[in-house]
Amino acid sequence: MGRVYKSYLSNPKIYVCKNCRSHLTSRDQIFSKDFVGKFGPAYLFTSCINMTIGPSEDRVLKTGLHTVADIYCVDCNDLIGWTYEAAYVDDQKYKIGKYILEKEKITKIRLPY
């Protein structure tokens, strides 16, 4: 495997991978905290960095059928959540292009500036 290039956030309040501490997103990117993932509570974010996207698949979730792709930390390859690629119920289309991060897989840190 080649060299891993990572991005770093400058926002003082960020979420990182619980396993390797790679920067993933900032607190101001939270769209909703009212989600449940495979491992329990989850957050919906508008953007996410330092992740890779797996293959797309259709999943029946609590809110109906969606096309999603699992997302993995680019550094440690830990499964951290998924991204919504399509929603088949009109009132769920707001999720398309957003990211679910599992609370169990991330931790919040405050940078010293």
- For residue 96, the model assigns a pLDDT of 98
Beta-carbon-side half-sphere exposure of residue 42 (alpha carbons within 13 Å): 18
- Per-residue pLDDT for 62 more than 60? yes
- Per-residue pLDDT for 113 more than 80? no
pLDDT confidence tier of residue 104, bands split at 50, 70 and 90: very high
66 and 58 Cβ atoms separated by less than 8 Å: yes
**CA atoms of 59 and 82, how far apart (whole Å):** 11
State the pTM of this model: 0.93
- Per-residue pLDDT for 108 more than 60? yes
- For residue 1, the model assigns a pLDDT of 57
pLDDT, average across residues 58-79: 96
First-residue to last-residue Cα distance in the chain: 34
- For residue 47, the model assigns a pLDDT of 97
